[in-house]
Amino acid sequence: MRKCLPLNILEPTRTKRRMLRETYSSFLSMVREALSFVDGVNSRGQLHNKTYEVFRSKHSVASQLVVEATSYAWSIRKRRRKTTGSKDVGRCVVRFDRRLLSFSETKRSNPVLTLRTNSKRIALPVSRDGAYQRLQAHLSQGWKLTSIIMKRDQSLLVALSKETLGLLVRRNWLGVDINSPRIAVSIVSPGIDILRQMYFGKDISTRQFGFEKRRAFLQRYRDMVSRSKAGLKLRRLSRKQMNYVRAGIWLLANEVVRLAEAFNANIAVEKLRHLRKRRGEWIAASRRKVNRIPYGFLRYALKHVAERQRVLLVEVDPRYTSQACPSCGHTGKSNWRGYSYFMCTACGFEANRDRVASLNIALRAAQPAYMRSDFSLGQIS
Ligand SMILES: [Zn+2]
């Protein structure tokens, strides 16, 4: 398990600030150079062999930083090509591993972080704020510090890792359908009683709707009135929206995992097949809703929280989860009656369409029972 937390330092002197800046820029130029060597190279080791001596003679930086810059270049090589087609890098993060950093205390027992920058070690007094307390709390819970990461603005992050404990396999199954404007959840027991069905994330998509409306207004205004402040406001709004959605998704993931624990359930999600796969299923007017909860990020958050809480999370076959009848298995779009209503044409099973998908996901995870021919959902309606 990995995690990053912010670490705030007290405003450094101008010299130290400059050294941090220089470290960043020489790291970035090494990354750029290393990327120019990437063609025809098959592994990080090969890239390292090609660049190491060159960089050592050219840049007067700690050897470990040379190694880090090469590794970083290797890790982003594909991403760059995919997005821009060019290999140019606008920004990067500098990673100081354990050999390049140390922690100590002043006489008054204030914490000090020492980093090995390009030319020498510099001591940076750490601010004893909320971020620091949070870091301390993590360290006391068994998290280990692996490295310090410096961003372009010289702000610092602490990378932590913790050994993953064994997962606990539970009796019931919680299926999550994260492909709709709200998140539908169904919990089933192996005897196939539905223990609980509920929705999450309605507030996120509602709020997203508001954000989008405001954004559309600002975009119109920016295009109409030259030199307006709309562009700046738009950027601020985007940041606000991103923060809101991210925070909301983490809360959501925690809620779902807590629910799974409360119902003694493992979690099942769909295997990632195609992002926004169900887009075609929505009528045009509601299509925008589908993307309001970032699917990939929610999956990531769910996996992360589940692992932390030792909850088993499995991925099931995503095919026809919204078309199949959970009761008799009859599959087809004819089961859809309108926008949100599901009624099986074979057996007459009725439900909300969102619920059907999450129920099918839970049932697929609880497989063996689902495959039995005598299996029936007759007792619930
Ligand atoms: Zn049916």
CA–CA dist 362, 369 (Å, integer): 11
Q: Name the CATH superfamily, with its identifier, for domain 172-202+242-371.
A: ATPase, nucleotide binding domain (3.30.420.40)
Residue ranges of the domains in the chain? 2-161, 172-202+242-371
Cα(331) to ligand 1 centroid in Å equals 8
> pLDDT tens digit string along 345-354?
989 888 888 7
Beta strand residue intervals within the chain, DSSP E:
2-7, 94-97, 101-105, 111-116, 121-125, 144-150, 156-161, 172-177, 183-188, 194-200, 265-270, 313-316, 341-343, 350-352
Strands 265-270 and 194-200: unpaired
What confidence score (pLDDT) does residue 292 get?
66
pLDDT surpassing 90 at residue 371: no
What confidence score (pLDDT) does residue 222 get?
85
Cα(324) to ligand 1 centroid in Å equals 8
> pLDDT tens digit string along 257-287?
999 999 999 999 988 765 444 544 544 444 4
Cα(278) to ligand 1 centroid in Å equals 21
Count the alpha carbons within 13 Å of 68 in the hemisphere toward its beta carbon.
Answer: 26
> pLDDT tens digit string along 29-62?
999 888 888 888 888 888 888 888 888 888 878 8
What confidence score (pLDDT) does residue 10 get?
93
pLDDT surpassing 80 at residue 81: no
Contact 132, 111 (CB under 8 A): yes
Cα(355) to ligand 1 centroid in Å equals 14
Cα(357) to ligand 1 centroid in Å equals 14
Task: Work out the average pLDDT over 165-180.
Answer: 85
Share of the chain above pLDDT 90, in %: 33
pTM of the model: 0.69
Cα(358) to ligand 1 centroid in Å equals 16
